[in-house]
Amino acid sequence: MSPNRDGAALVIAIDGPAASGKGTLAKRLALHYGLPHLDTGLLYRAVALTLIDADADLDDAGAAARAAADLSAERLSDPRLRERAMGEAASRVSSVPEVRAALLSWQRRFADGPDGAVLDGRDIGTVVCPAARVKLFIVAAPEERARRRHRELLGRGEEATLAAILADIRARDARDSSRAAAPLKVAEDAVVLDTTELDADAAFAEAVAIVERLRSR
C-alpha cells in the first residue's frame, strides 16, 4: 500500500509503556504501509550499553549525554540491546534531559523522510513528532504486559520470574511517567488502544482501522 496516496507523508507516532505491544504493532504497520520503522527505545538502550561497556555509571548525566551525542546507527544492531537488563538501564538514562535533547534531532531526521515513517517509543506523539498525522497510544494491564514479556524472555532462553518482571514494569512505568523530561503521557490528539484482551492479529486490525480513520481526516 502506498504511504502517501494523497500526496502527503504519513508519520505514525506510537507511544505506550513497556510490553504494551507497541513495538509489534509498529513493525507490522511499517510493513503494511511500506514505511521505515524506528524503535526509539533502542537509541536509549544503545546509550546505556555504551556506558556499561565503558564501565561508566548509568546515573552519570555527563557521560550519558556524551554517549548520546556520539551515537551511531550501527550501534543499534547490537543483539545485547534486546536483553532484559537493558530495558531498565535505558529507562535510567532516558531521564537525563541532555540525553533526550541529543537524541531528539536523530529521531526527527528519521521521521522526516519523503514518505514518512513509523516511530514507537514513549514521547513520539508529544515531543518527537507532535505534528504527526496519526498518533496511537498503546496500553495493556501491567499483569498482561508482564506475562507477555515473560513469554518473550523464555522464548529467547533467558531466565526470569513473572513477579520480578511485573515489579520491573511497574517501576519503569513510575519512572517514565514522573520524569521531568518528556514524561510518558497520552498526546491530546492520540487514540488510545487497549491490547489487554487482544491477540497480535486483532490488535493489528484495530490499529489499521484507526490509522485509516485518522489519515482520512
Domain-embedded: residue 3: no
Q: Is 79 annotated as a binding residue?
A: no
- Of residues 10, 11, 20, 46, the one with CA closest to residue 144: 20
Rounded to whole angstroms, the Cα distance separating 107 from 119 reads 8
Domain-embedded: residue 38: yes
Could you tell me the three cell numbers for 172? 519503569
Q: Is 90 annotated as a binding residue?
A: no
Q: Is 2 annotated as a binding residue?
A: no
The pLDDT-based confidence of 217 (bands split at 50, 70, 90) is confident
Cβ-in-10-Å burial (0-12, 13-18, 19+) of 189 comes to: middle
Domain-embedded: residue 177: yes
Number of domains in the chain: 1
Using a pLDDT cut of 70, give the percent of the chain over it.
97
Q: Is 196 annotated as a binding residue?
A: no
Q: What pLDDT score was predicted for residue 5? A: 47
Domain-embedded: residue 2: no
Mean pLDDT score of the chain, rounded to an integer?
92
Q: Is 101 annotated as a binding residue?
A: no
Residue 39 β-bridge partners: 120
Q: What is the CATH number of the domain that holds 22?
A: 3.40.50.300
Domain-embedded: residue 73: yes
pTM: 0.88
pLDDT over 60 (residue 140): yes
pLDDT over 60 (residue 197): yes
Are 102 and 68 a contacting pair, CB within 8 Å? yes
Q: Is 17 annotated as a binding residue?
A: yes
Q: What is the pLDDT of residues 79-91, one digit of tens each?
A: 999 888 898 899 8
Q: What is the pLDDT of residues 2-26, one digit of tens each?
A: 444 445 799 999 999 988 999 999 9
Q: Is 23 annotated as a binding residue?
A: yes
Domain-embedded: residue 178: yes
Most confident of 38-42, 95-99, 182-186: 38-42
Q: Where do runs of H (alpha helix) occur along 1-141?
A: 22-33, 41-53, 61-69, 84-93, 97-111
Domain-embedded: residue 209: yes
Q: Is 20 annotated as a binding residue?
A: yes
Q: Which is higher by pLDDT, 179 or 122? A: 122
The pLDDT-based confidence of 1 (bands split at 50, 70, 90) is very low
What are phi and psi for residue 19, nearest 5 degrees?
65, 25
Q: Is 16 annotated as a binding residue?
A: yes
Q: Which is higher by pLDDT, 206 or 83? A: 206
Domain-embedded: residue 26: yes
Are 14 and 120 a contacting pair, CB within 8 Å? yes
Structural domain range at position 168: 10-215
Between helix 200-215 and helix 22-33 the angle, nearest 10°, is: 60
